[in-house]
Amino acid sequence: MCLACDQDEIERNWRLVEIISTGQMPDGHTAEDLRAMGLPQPGKLIREQQADGSIVIKQVAPSAAANVFACDSPAHE
């Protein structure tokens, strides 16, 4: 891929991330499209306004409940 194409793809992905960070699905895209591009789903990003007025987009950490591990070994009962 040429440098101009790489830059276009980066800018396109950034525009999508900005939309996703507002909790909306980008027009013309599906959840499967976003997964195929390696982008998060709406609701998985948050926007935080900094003291200087800039916006920081962060990925939401998975909840601890989503990663529950239960040991079923008799030695740990």
Q: Which residues of the chain have pLDDT under 50?
A: none
Strands (E) across the chain are located at 45-49, 55-59
Please tell me the pTM assigned to this model.
0.71
Q: What is the reported pLDDT for 65?
A: 52
CA distances from 17 to 2, 40, 61, 64, 65 (A): 23, 8, 16, 24, 26
Judge whether 31 and 42 are in contact, CB under 8 Å: no
Q: What is the reported pLDDT for 60?
A: 84
